[in-house]
A and B are shown apart, each in its own frame.
Chain A
Amino acid sequence: MSEYIKGQTVFKAESIDCLAKALEDIMPHWSGKIEVNASGLQMFDYHQKAVRAEIVIRQPVAGGWGDMGFATTPDGGVELISDEGHRERRRGNDMRRGEHLFPKIDEAWLSQLSKHYAYRVAEKQAAKIGATITKSINPDGTWRVVLRKPVVKAWQQAGRSW
């Protein structure tokens, strides 16, 4: 090894596609319900206020919509748009009310989402540099992800065959 790096995953606008995949990873029942559009979509919050977001998951509530979504920010980041109902909702109560589309949006949920997002970004980067990717789970629950690619010699990079 020649370098060791530590960092923190941050949702980025350029990887909004990876965020959509990560959402599907942790919420399989959202498959087919996650709308993604890099140009932006209109969603409605709990108070029926129209908001723009690049990722939208729609949820009908009494008298309208209580969608949640993710919108890009001018600094290249991504922000979660969810109302207090999403954040405070308990899954058990939701099931009783028949509103089980959304989970409780809390730190644990976002932590899980970040982990899957990081993997999806690594997967995208692997494809970009021509590497294969493998994932295994360490005993402590962290993920070990390996991006492996053949060494390309200088003359191969130049496209020469001699």
Chain B
Amino acid sequence: MDKYTEIVLTIGPGGSVEMEGEHYQGQACDRELRALMDALGVLESVDHKPEYFAKVKTETQIRQTGGR
């Protein structure tokens, strides 16, 4: 699993912006990118990559009690 997530933002002339999330899993990317876009201005288009639909792995600890 990646240790870092990144939002890569490209700021162009007139404040046009393009951004993509790197190393995210599932819809966490969606939340953070949209929060940034919301702060910046107006959303124009969204394109989802395959990772967007990936299930987020949950880390659970299973305690074996022994016996039946």
Contacts and interface: CB of A to CB of B under 8 A. Distances in A.
Interface residues of A, number: 41
Contacts, number: 160
B6 A147 contact: yes
Interface residues on B, range: 35 or more
Contacts of B26: 2
Contact of A154 (B1, B11, B51, B59): B59
B55 to A, nearest CB: 12
A118 B9 CA distance: 10
Interface string B9-43: 11111111111111111100110111111011111
If over half of B's interface residues share one DSSP class (helix, strand or loop), that class is named, otherwise mixed; here it is mixed
Given A6-B44, A10-B41, A124-B39, A111 B13 contact: yes
Contacts of A4: 18-20, 46-49
A152 to B, nearest CB: 9
Given A1-B49, A141-B13, 12 more contacts: A2-B29, A2-B50, A4-B19, A5-B37, A5-B43, A7-B37, A7-B40, A8-B41, A115-B13, A118-B15, A145-B8, A150-B4
B17 A3 contact: no
B42 A10 contact: yes
Contact of B36 (A12, A122, A138): A122
A2 B48 contact: yes
A9 B17 contact: yes
Contact of B5 (A142, A149, A153): A149
Interface in A96-145: 110-111, 114-115, 117-119, 121-122, 124-125, 129, 131, 138, 141-145
